Amino acid sequence: MNEQYTVAMSSIIDRFSLETFYLPTLPEQIFVSCAGVNRPGLPLVGFYDHFEPERLQIIGKVEHLYLKQLPDAERHARLEDLFRAKPVGIIVTTSLDISDEMLALAEEYAVPVLRTSVKTSEFMAALIAYLNVELGPRITRHGVFIEVYGEGILLLGDSGIGKSETAIELIKRGHRLIADDAVEIKRVSDTTLVGRAPSLIRHYVELRGIGIVDVRRLFGMGAVKETEKIDLVITMELWQQGKMYDRLGLEEHYTDILGIRVPTIVVPVSPGRNLSVVIEVAAMNARQKRMGYNTPEEFNKRLMESLGSV
């Protein structure tokens, strides 16, 4: 069974600087569990067959003007039907007026009423993006997550393989740490995974023989980042004599994380290998592939053309 995640109304209020006109209880005790939002056009004309009260309801200029032109008794009835449906919250956009009638119904049916000065479409887009991140399915993986040349690189491998030491070397070379040891991964869309560190260990790295170090204090704010999209998984493993490692890069490998396939490469670890440089090249190569240029395919094409001309 999928775990149900929630976000407190207080977090939404803080994130979007919302004005609070009525709250039935403390905002920390009101929780939103649905990333979808709704403009209640159809409910305001009486259609509630598929109404989802767990969605935040957004009232913009269209809804406001529609209600305004209704006769008083009909307007009250339509608003009362909406509040009686007990939505998790109603947000009025564009600094539109909130009537005493609406506030009285909010108090009667214990429905939060808030307001923003932002235009409806702009606000809805930002709110949906925020809720997708906060409410997305998630897992925690053991590994190191670092940004290299703008690419989110998730380093996986057995404990003691050298992931944290490699991360420190990359940080010294100007790249940024997101998480060490534990990486919280959220699926924020059908194609995107975002990783971050648990709050308790954020900005810390464990180095065997030294202990816990604070990357932000040692290397500065520019050496850390809160979140990043996962673009590439690099699995580090001890070099196995006789194992055939990919030398051309023609085969594409993927790791499935929360139903999304992430490009993956295996990097063998052995004395003398400069892993930080290898990972930098892997990051640049992954970015180049995403921009449409695949070096192995281009090389193979040239090779076939060369053989064909012999």
Q: Which residues form the catalytic set?
A: 142, 163, 181, 247
Q: Other CB atoms closer than 10 Å to residue 150's CB: what's the count?
A: 13
Which string of DSSP letters, residue by residue, matches 144-157? EEEEETTEEEEEEE
CA dist., res. 236 & res. 275, Å (int): 9
Residue 114 in contact with residue 18, Cβ under 8 Å? yes
Identity of residue 219 = F
Q: What count of Cα atoms within 13 Å lies in the side-chain half-sphere of residue 284?
A: 8
Q: Is the separation of the CB atoms in 232 and 193 below 8 Å?
A: no
Contact in structure between 196 and 225 (CB atoms under 8 Å):
no
Phi-psi region of 85 (alpha: psi -120 to 50; beta: other; left: phi over 0): alpha
